[in-house]
Each structure stands twice: as C-alpha cells, then as structure tokens.
Amino acid sequence: MTSLLESIDQVEYLKKNEALLVKQIDNSLEKYVSGLGIGYVSHTPPSTDQNFKDLDKYCGDIVAALGNISALILEVKFNHGGSLNDLNSDQNSGLIELRGRGVPVFYSYNVDEFSRLPKGAAQQLRFMTAIEPRLQINKKAITYPEYNLKAAVDHLINMPTEHDGLAVALASFVDAEENIMNSGVEKLTTKALLLIYDHNTCRLACLSKEAVLYVIQRVINGEYLAESKKSAHLAVTINRLLAAWWSELDNSEEIDQRNDQGSGPGMSFR
C-alpha cells in the first residue's frame, strides 16, 4: 500500500512540475519575444490531453503566435533526472506527421533541475529544449545545447522572406483585423495550423486578403475527426481536410477573379 501511495505521489509531483514548467516557458517566451519588438500571444489549452481524433482541438500544451511571422507549438514534458514524465507513442507519431507537413511543433522540457534555472528570459529559453518529434523516440531527455528553445524561436523569427505569404494566413486566423496584440490565438487549432503550414498550401499567399478570409472562414467552420490519433489515421484525415480546402480554394479563386473583373485590381499578397 505504501508503494502505491508513493507511486501516486510521484505522478502528482511530475504533473505539478509539468504545469509549472508550462507557465515558466510561456512567461519566458513572452518576455524574450516582446523584448525583440515582436508581438507574442499564446493559448494554453485547458486539457493537457491533446487528442488528434479531433483536428479542431490542439496539438500542444502551448499554442503561440510570434507576431504575424510564425506559430510555435510546444508539447511540454518535465525532465526529472534525465527521464521525461510521459511520452505517448500515438501522440508522438501524430506530432511527427504534423511536423512533416511543416507545423512548427516541438517537445520542450527543462535541461536541468528547476533549482538551477538561470535569470533572464534568453538564458531561461536556453535552459529549455526544442526537440523535433522524430528525435524523441523514448523518455530519455535530449539535452544537447543546440536543441534549445531560444535557437528554435530565433530561427522562426528569422525565416527567409519567401515565407512571408504564410504570415498572411497566420494573421487571418489569429486576428482578422491584423492586430496581433488583441489576438484570438485560440483559433490556432490543429486544423488551422495544417492549413497554414502544409507544404502544398502556398497558393493561399497569392490570393487577395478577402479571398484568404473566405477560404479560412469556410473551412474552419467544418469539423474533422479521425479514427484515432495514430499517424496513419491522422494522415488520412489531414488529406481529407486539405482536399476540402483545395475545393474551397478553387471556389474562392473564381470569386476573386470575378471581383477583380468587376471592380478592377484588388490588393493581393505575393
């Protein structure tokens, strides 16, 4: 009985520290990104069980927007003595699928014990990891210096200008009025992130703002469910979602062309 109680206490300890870690990472991100003069808004979903059966939910513990430059999705784990508190294989395969389509999702955890957390937002982000899902094959913590959260954030902020068009879609999801600081970042569900980041969606950036909003609004109103959160089922559901989006995109292009013919050249993002 004592062993069972000890086991329960250990689980509660790990869960409590994971919750504290989510808050710490979010706070450090806000201070660091804002200090660069870039807007930072985030959403921490109320449920820590990200369910890929429903693409209208979330694929991480922190869903954030770095200005209108990029999203950042973190699945947070607590590193205790070199071992992660939890690693679900189905979730991992789902995250690998999303990452393969361009969604900027990482595992993030502390590289050392909380008591050694440094001062300063930049140093704190170096204390946290940003591990691509394909690299996290088991519960063993990966603490190589190059896999730190600050480096990942810096890379997303300094992406080449050819990705600017995707920022139009990000800003449209986050806030139709393009005011990132009053954002509804909770709109960045798994479905929204796929529409923005799938490698085949770059045509979206060539549409006018009105057409972008049309596509996003039509597709985001639909619900998309998968049989399970395993990557094979997730891939099928993603493809179904994107097929629906392509259909909406073709329709919106026709509307956009008719509008252009009727009212002259409109504003477009290329």
* CA dist 198 → 3, 212, 266 (Å): 47, 15, 26
Is 134 part of any domain? yes
Between 34 and 205, where is the model more confident? 34
User: Is residue 269 a part of any domain in this protein?
Assistant: no
One-letter identity of residue 206 = C
Domain for residue 270, yes or no? no
d(CA 142, CA 132): 11
pLDDT over 60 (residue 265) = no
Contacts (Cβ under 8 Å, ≥6 apart) of 86: 14, 77, 139
pLDDT digits (tens, 9 = 90+) for 126-184: 999 999 999 999 999 999 999 999 999 999 999 866 667 777 888 888 865 545 555 67
Using CB atoms within 10 A of its CB, is residue 167 exposed (0-12), middle (13-18) or buried (19+)? buried
Task: With respect to residue 217, please indicate whether it lies within any of the assigned structural domains.
Answer: yes
- Asked whether residue 268 is domain-assigned, the answer is no
> Is the model more confident about 73 or about 253?
73
Any domain includes 120? yes
Cα angle: 59, vertex 61, 62; to 5 degrees: 100
Q: Alpha helices of the chain — where are they, by DSSP H?
A: 2-35, 89-100, 121-126, 149-157, 164-174, 190-197, 209-220, 231-263
The C-alpha atoms of residue 267 and residue 270 are separated, in whole angstroms, by: 10
Asked if residue 115 is part of any domain, the answer here is yes
Q: Which residue has the higher pLDDT, 24 or 114?
A: 24
Question: Which helix (H) or strand (E) is 41 found in, with range?
Answer: strand 40-43
Q: Which two tokens stand for residue 88?
A: 């679900």
- In this predicted model, which residue has the larger pLDDT, 147 or 54? 147
Q: Does the pLDDT of residue 18 top 70, yes or no?
A: yes
* Alpha-carbon separation of residue 85 from 57, 129, 183, 217, 233 (angstroms): 23, 15, 32, 38, 26
Q: How confident is the model at residue 115 (pLDDT cuts 50, 70, 90)?
A: confident
What is the domain count for the chain? 1
Task: State the pLDDT confidence band at 97, using cuts at 50, 70 and 90.
Answer: very high
Is the pLDDT reported for residue 204 higher than 60? yes
Domain limits at 238? Answer: 2-263
Q: 132: which residues sit within 8 A by CB, 6+ positions away? A: 99, 106, 107
37 domain-assigned: yes
Q: How far apart are CA 270 and CA 268, in angstroms?
A: 6
pLDDT tens digits, residue range 226-250?
A: 877 788 888 899 998 999 888 888 8
